[in-house]
Amino acid sequence: MAFLMGRKTVLGFVCGLLLACASQPQQTTLYQRMGGEAGVRTIVDNFLYEVGDSALLRPLFNDIDLPRFRTKLAEQLCEISGGPCRYSGDNMTEVHAGMAMNNRHFDATVTALTRAMEAAGVDVASQNAMLKKLAAMHGDVMRETIAPE
């Protein structure tokens, strides 16, 4: 009888472990948490609307190819967030050279991107994870800064 009880206990324990493992949430990438390809496209579109509404940022986009920018930003966000894309655009130093940006522009860009992600339904933890990844580019983006604060 003790053998039978021990066997049932072990069987119950193993079943419990299997159920616990099955109920654990699957690990997801930041890309997946942001909504995958459709989510990234929505974030980029929302970002462009935010830029268009910003008197501070809008002039920085006057002379750019918006369709190309849209495509390259989507590639970049996809790659950075762990998606299947590869960024094929120019490096950040070249892209931002001569734009006369200052920290107000950078902060406004972060705010615009945060609003874009929020409007796309991205949770705050995922927004912060994306912003942390993008913060690594600050030095490259601001290298050619010439505008006064």
Distance CA 96, CA 129 (A): 23
138 is in an annotated binding site: no
Which whole-number Å values give the CA distances from 31 to 2, 74, 75, 136, 143, in the listed order? 52, 11, 11, 18, 28
Nearest CA to 31 out of 67, 76, 71 is that of 76
Q: Minimal CA–CA distance to 137: which of 83, 86, 80, 52?
A: 80
Which residues define the annotated binding site for heme? 96
Which residues define the annotated binding site? 96
